[in-house]
Amino acid sequence: MSLAFLTSDLLSPIRHGFFTRRGGASSGVFAGLNCGLSSSDQAHVVRINRARVADEMGVPREALATVPQIHSADVSVIEHGGAGERPADAMVTRVPGVALGILTADCMPILLADAEAGVVGAAHAGWKGALGGVIENTVEAMVDLGAGRSRIRAAIGPSISQAAYEVGPEMLDDFIVENPEASRHFAQGKGDRLMFDLPGFGLSRLRAAGVEAEWIGRCTYREPEAFFSYRRATHRLESDYGRLISVIRLD
């Protein structure tokens, strides 16, 4: 089965893709294109999946750059491919031929580009990272590499939607302490539960940073045939879950 990925017109003509789980060599709960080396999937199978992604993006397999992700606001400047050792949750580069790969399974994969300056970025943003500043830090790191803030375009890939993201009231408290206006991204759920709009929050942070942005409009939780989802796997009492990969590169 061939690989499938989504793209954003905002990022054109930069080569990029938000890969679905379709295709790939993994089986069981990881069936399809699991690219998470930190999962309990067979490591050699995950490497096969990553190699197929690199081939699809037109780069050597060693040119696909990833980093250990820890829900931080840290950004790494990438000058060559391969798996990095220093944890971070975003990467930026101006090196042609290096593909930046971000792993997600409900969190936001955000791909960014200034096509004129030749600078790209990729960020993993769950609620902790987004609240902590990973989006703004990625934009600033791109500007440091020569990107023009007003020229940066960004797309948020498949993420958990508000209708599927139930949270407790303590999470709202965390957001209000940082920014009282963030309450608009929470809707009332059942009882004291709230429904959080993660992509909406991501878009608000990108636009506040001066970046034109869009969400691809696909929910990881509600489309099991297309996407892996941590929360769905938890609700189904599954032993583990696959990780999606989103990639961007300069020619």
pLDDT in tens, 94-105: 999 999 999 999
Smallest Cα–Cα separation from 209: which of 120, 126, 143, 125?
A: 143
Specify if 207 maps to a domain: no
What is the C-alpha to C-alpha distance for residues 117 and 33, in angstroms, rounded to an integer? 32
The pLDDT, as a whole number, for residue 1 is 61
Is 145 part of a structural domain of the chain? yes
The reported pLDDT for the residue numbered 81 is 82
Q: Give CA–CA dist 248/230, Å, rounded.
A: 23
Residue 182, domain member (yes or no): no
pTM of this prediction? 0.96
Closest CA to 118 of 9, 18, 251: 251
Provide CB contacts within 8 A for 66, sequence distance 6+. 83, 84, 101, 102, 103
pLDDT of residue 51: 97
For the stretch 62-90, what's the b/e string if a residue is b when 16 or more beta carbons lie within 10 angstroms of its beta carbon? Answer: ebbbbbebebbbbbbebeebeeeeeebbb
When pLDDT is averaged across residues 83-102 and rounded to a whole number, the result is 94
Query: End-to-end alpha-carbon separation of the chain, Å?
Result: 26
Amino acid 156: pLDDT: 98
Per-residue pLDDT at 109 exceeds 70: yes
In a domain? residue 238? yes
pLDDT in tens, 168-186: 999 999 999 988 888 999 9
Q: Summarize the confidence of residues 34-59 as an average pLDDT.
A: 96
Phi/psi-derived region of residue 103, left when phi > 0, alpha when psi is between -120 and 50, beta in every other case? beta
Q: What is the mean pLDDT of residues 120-146?
A: 97
Number of domains in the chain: 1
Note whether residue 185 is domain-resident. no
Predicted local confidence at residue 57, as pLDDT? 97
Q: Assess whether pLDDT exceeds 80 at residue 83.
A: no
* pLDDT confidence bin for 76, thresholds 50/70/90: very high
CATH code for position 75: 3.60.140.10
- In degrees and rounded to multiples of 5, residue 8 shows phi and psi of -120, 130
Residue 199 lies in a domain: no
**Across the chain, what does the average pLDDT equal?**
96
Contact 101, 35 (CB under 8 A): yes
**pLDDT, position 2:** 83
pLDDT tops 70 at residue 139: yes
pLDDT, residue 80, reads 86
**Cβ atoms of 43 and 32 closer than 8 Å:** no
Q: What is the pLDDT of residue 204?
A: 97
What mean pLDDT comes out for the span 237-243? 97
**Cα distances (Å, whole numbers) of residue 247 to 90, 155, 181, 234, 243:** 12, 12, 32, 26, 13
Q: Average pLDDT of 139-163?
A: 98
Residue 58 lies in a domain: yes
Q: Which helix (H) or strand (E) holds 29?
A: none
Range of the domain at 226: 5-157+214-249
